[in-house]
Amino acid sequence: MSNALTILKTRFGYDSFRPNQEEIINAVLEGKDVFASMPTGGGKSICYQIPALALEGLTLVISPLIALMKDQVDAAVESGIAAAYLNSTLKADEAASVYSRLYRGEIKLLYISPERLALDGYLDKLKELPIRFFAVDEAHCLSEWGHDFRPDYLSLAMLRDAFPGVPIAAFTATATKKVQKDIVRILKLNDPFLIRASFNRKELYYRVDRKEKTLAQISSFIKDHEGQAGIVYRTSRKDVEKTAAHLSERGIRALPYHAGLSQALRAENQEKFNNDDVQVICATIAFGMGIDKSNIRFVIHGDLPKSMEGYYQETGRAGRDGLESHCLLLYSAGDLVKQQYFIDQIADPDEQKKAKENLSRMARFAAVNVCRRKQILEYFDESAGDDCGFCDICTGSHEKINASVDAQKILSAVMRTDERFGLTHIIDIVQGADTEKMRTTGHDALKTYGVGKDKSKKWWRGIVEELISQEAALQDTQAYNALKITEKGRRVLFGKESFYILKREDTLPKQPSDQEDLFAKSGKYSTELYDRLKETRFLLAKKKGVPPYVIFSDKTLREMAALKPVDNSGFLRVSGVGETKMEQYGPFFIPVIKEFLGY
């Protein structure tokens, strides 16, 4: 491993490996198969880039992330690796040039798409190359039990038979143990070295707010994160467009991204986001797997995601550089109804059942007042331990309120109207609304009519949503979303079980920011110098046509602003600065630091 450590320092600028990297690299260099489940930002690319440099011959990375391949190759080349990619975005002459370099032995690391691998005769063509190692990225796409199954990935099952002696390593950021077994079986991994890294993204602060005025809540949150890059996920294309327009009207540089846009416009908007030309991308889940941007500081879900795995992967796009980042989920019972409607359209009974289970688990995460991180870790079969101290449940101040009487008022109105009416009408009954519908139905004569007129509609909506979230009531999508009382709801209604809600006031996260850590390290961290270094990085990236994070991450720039190196040896001591980047970028960044210091 001494050679691998040398490569890590000279090419990538790091003094030590992150957790699990060394063990994975060692297994690959010994010729073993590997299954590695590592969280986003865990440094999996190092696990195949170092073997690519250490082994004779070619390392092949199979990835579905076509939109990301160019950035991945640019980043590898910046670190001094002879890398290239082959996918459908290349023109014929460009692909021919890559093949020529491959046959001349000039490429050490090649990225290809699974679609290319599936072409007739392509595996035989690959046998002409000196392949020494296969890395399968986003391996959860192999499993029908994964959240992003891709049928074209199943062609990878042929790799083992075609290359019996070549080690295969499968990497994924989200895999339950069930999905893990599927991946190992399909790829025919031979007694693989198994790594299940912790799914605990300590730098992410998780928060769930009740959805009220969605667009206003989103724009307010982003205003509090001025100048920081972020993603807003919405369920529908229409809501994506509305959100992007709303933010733009309020001076926030935002663009939409969804499957209804042309491929060229999607690529253009994504490039602007990667290059820091816009602050926010508003997207459906069609956006994300092609994102390697390390300085995303927040992810907002304006609607309830379909599954915990999807939510974990989408929030995981924030904080890839290890710096503190925030994840906000806006939730209402209405989201549940919308998702259930789409699930009801699924023809396959097994698929429908799986979708319902995933949605139910996601709804519990949003509704139950239990540490968010603990719920995520338990989903991935990981022991959670004590409360995390870094989510809204663990850092907010809470007041537990017995709301049994108000819950009974709502449930009584539901029961007295034969469970045939929706949320709005039930609230109108309790509030004593004077409407034509109330008079024509005769519901203004009910005992529960007007029993809650002393409280606001917002309060009663909150009670109904809590009843639904705590599974004391449900909305029947087969009966125009009429409210129904569950068994638990009947116990509450008849006084056999109490009903509690939490009144929560968020406080600021208690985890120290990375800037504070750096200040403690150097005593002289400068935000002014950091801003100057960011501007230098931005101009260099524009000139080279690469995203700024490919040159240096925010974390590296912050350490640079703390240590203030004024010569090459000092520049090399900054984490993330290897010899190749020192030679390329030292002449640009060191003068900026010297000027700041008055040299």
| Domain containing residue 352: CATH number | 3.40.50.300
Do residue 228 and residue 338 come from a single domain? Answer: yes
Q: In this predicted structure, what is the pLDDT of residue 519?
A: 47
Do residue 374 and residue 295 come from a single domain? Answer: yes
Q: What does each of the 599 residues of the chain score in pLDDT, given as a tens digit? A: 458 888 888 888 888 898 899 999 999 999 999 999 987 777 888 999 999 999 999 999 998 877 678 888 888 888 889 999 998 888 899 999 999 999 999 999 999 988 888 788 888 889 999 999 999 988 888 876 655 666 777 788 889 999 999 999 999 877 778 888 988 999 999 999 999 888 899 899 999 988 889 999 999 999 999 889 999 999 999 999 999 999 999 999 999 999 889 988 988 898 899 888 999 999 987 665 556 788 899 999 999 998 898 899 899 889 988 889 999 999 887 788 788 878 888 888 888 888 888 888 898 888 777 889 999 998 888 877 777 888 988 886 667 789 999 999 999 999 999 999 988 999 999 999 988 899 899 999 999 999 999 999 889 988 998 888 788 998 887 777 889 999 999 999 999 999 988 776 545 454 444 444 544 454 567 889 999 999 999 999 999 888 898 899 888 998 999 999 999 999 999 999 989 899 999 999 999 999 999 88
The count of structural domains within the chain is 4
Do residue 483 and residue 362 come from a single domain? Answer: no
Q: Which strands make up the sheet holding 83-86, listed edge to edge? A: 83-86, 109-112, 58-62, 131-136, 168-172, 34-37, 193-196
CA quadruple 265, 268, 274, 279: dihedral positive or negative?
Answer: negative
CATH number at residue 561: 1.10.150.80
Do residue 127 and residue 270 come from a single domain? Answer: no
Q: Can you say how many angstroms the Cα of residue 74 is from the centroid of all Cα atoms in its chain? A: 22
Do residue 53 and residue 148 come from a single domain? Answer: yes
- Residue 246: other Cβ atoms inside 10 A: 17
Phi-psi region of 41 (alpha: psi -120 to 50; beta: other; left: phi over 0): left
Q: In this predicted structure, what is the pLDDT of residue 505?
A: 57
d(CA 446, CA 450): 9
Which of 196, 225, 251 is the endpoint of a domain?
196
Do residue 407 and residue 369 come from a single domain? Answer: no
Which of 468, 486, 505 is the endpoint of a domain?
505
Identity (one letter) of the amino acid at 380?
F
Under a CB-based contact definition with an 8 Å cutoff, are residues 291 and 317 in contact?
A: yes
Which of 379, 396, 413 is the endpoint of a domain?
396
Reported pTM = 0.74
CATH number at residue 444: 1.10.10.10
CA quadruple 334, 339, 342, 344: dihedral positive or negative?
Answer: negative
Spatial neighbors of 546 by CB under 8 A, at least 6 apart, are: 71, 74, 78
Do residue 461 and residue 548 come from a single domain? Answer: no
Candidates 265, 301, 308; CA nearest to 282 is 301
Do residue 361 and residue 266 come from a single domain? Answer: yes
Strand partners, 109: 59, 83
Phi-psi region of 481 (alpha: psi -120 to 50; beta: other; left: phi over 0): left
Do residue 71 and residue 188 come from a single domain? Answer: yes
Do residue 238 and residue 373 come from a single domain? Answer: yes
Range of the domain at 39: 2-196
Do residue 497 and residue 525 come from a single domain? Answer: no
Do residue 163 and residue 14 come from a single domain? Answer: yes
Under a CB-based contact definition with an 8 Å cutoff, are residues 384 and 378 in contact?
A: yes
